[in-house]
């Protein structure tokens, strides 16, 4: 290829990636007014635009249905965008408990869930997750836990997710790739170190069968997805485990 073709190839690749992303969102995960309003609420409250993508929202719903979720725990609500996707995957008698450290964000999340008609099954609790999680023992086990909060807290949140779930529950964490830095080894950056610790633990804890894959930000970030397994099921993960 001639050297001058390279910028055009990069531009064409970027256009194709954009086309694929838009097409998959439109085909599999179209947003309705309530989801769009949650994004607008985040903007209006000056929150960073760090919501999950529509396809990630749909993936959470596929996972929730696959494990027959009736009780979902979300750690980190932001303006309620992911909460709408999660709560919509529940049966009418189901329950989403979403933990949010900021009172302002929690109120925005409640408003988003109310606009989506989900107040009957979704609740937002305010406070640092590490303080709220111990009080959830009486409401466990959760069928699905979605972790998308402060990154240095991830290892602690995984400990709690394991305590608050059952065999067959799913634990999903956003932002487990972060441009690859957590995969390069030890780091002085507390965010990167914590996500690296989360990934290694998800990969090696005998109670978890896990995978992580690029899914967002042009392949630079994605979910780690774990299913809680019985100790004697560890051999399903294959001869190298
Ligand atoms: C950040 C947090 C997120 O949950 C995310 O999906 C992307 C970025 C952040 O704090 O920078
Ligand atoms: Mg995130």
pLDDT in tens, 129-143: 999 999 999 999 999
202-213 residue pLDDT tens = 999 999 999 999
DSSP code, position 236? G
46-100 residue pLDDT tens = 999 999 999 999 999 999 999 999 999 999 999 999 999 999 999 999 999 999 9
pLDDT above 80: residue 218: yes
How far apart are alpha carbons 196 and 184 in whole angstroms? 8
How far apart are alpha carbons 35 and 32 in whole angstroms? 5
CB of residue 175 inside a 6 A radius of ligand 1: yes
Tell which residue, 99, 108, 161, 160, has the closest CA to residue 128: 99
Per-residue confidence (pLDDT) for residue 241, from 0 to 100:
47
Residue with CA closest to ligand 1 atom 2: 50
CB 48 within 8 Å of CB 69:
no
DSSP code, position 60? H
| Paired tokens of 66 | 């696959």
Residue with CA closest to ligand 1 atom 8: 50
Per-residue confidence (pLDDT) for residue 114, from 0 to 100:
98
Per-residue confidence (pLDDT) for residue 236, from 0 to 100:
55
CB 150 within 8 Å of CB 174:
no
- Confidence band of 235 (pLDDT split at 50, 70, 90): low
Ligand 2 geometric centre to CA of 153 (Å): 13
Q: What are phi and psi of 32, to 5 degrees?
A: -105, -175
pLDDT above 70: residue 238: no
Q: What is the pTM of this model?
A: 0.94
Neighbours of 223 (CB within 10 A): 25
Return the half-sphere exposure (C-beta side, CA atoms, 13 A cut-off) of residue 184. Answer: 8
Ligand 2 geometric centre to CA of 231 (Å): 30
Ligand 1 geometric centre to CA of 72 (Å): 21
- Confidence band of 5 (pLDDT split at 50, 70, 90): confident
Per-residue confidence (pLDDT) for residue 231, from 0 to 100:
78
Residue with CA closest to ligand 1 atom 5: 50
CB of residue 26 inside a 6 A radius of ligand 1: no
CB of residue 174 inside a 6 A radius of ligand 1: yes
């Amino acid at each position: 290829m001639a050297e001058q073709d390279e910028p055009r190839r990069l531009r064409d690749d970027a256009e194709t990636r954009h086309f694929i992303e838009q097409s998959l969102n439109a085909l599999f995960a179209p947003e309705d007014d309530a989801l769009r309003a949650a994004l607008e609420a985040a903007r209006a409250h000056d929150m960073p635009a760090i919501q999950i993508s529509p396809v990630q929202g749909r993936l959470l719903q596929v996972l929730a249905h696959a494990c027959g979720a009736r009780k979902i725990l979300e750690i980190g609500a932001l303006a309620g965008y992911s909460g709408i996707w999660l709560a919509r995957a529940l049966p009418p008698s189901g329950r989403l408990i979403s933990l949010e450290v900021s009172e302002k964000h929690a109120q925005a999340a409640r408003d988003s869930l109310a606009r989506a008609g989900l107040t009957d099954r979704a609740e937002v609790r305010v406070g640092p997750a590490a303080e709220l999680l111990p009080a959830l023992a009486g409401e466990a086990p959760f069928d699905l836990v979605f972790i998308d909060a402060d990154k240095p807290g991830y290892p602690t949140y995984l400990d709690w997710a394991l305590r608050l779930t059952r065999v067959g529950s799913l634990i999903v964490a956003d932002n487990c790739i972060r441009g690859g830095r957590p995969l390069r080894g030890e780091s002085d950056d507390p965010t990167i170190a914590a996500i690296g610790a989360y990934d290694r633990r998800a990969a090696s804890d005998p109670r978890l069968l896990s995978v992580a894959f690029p899914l967002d930000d042009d392949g630079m970030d994605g979910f780690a997805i774990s299913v809680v397994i019985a100790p004697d099921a560890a051999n399903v993960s294959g001869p190298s485990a």
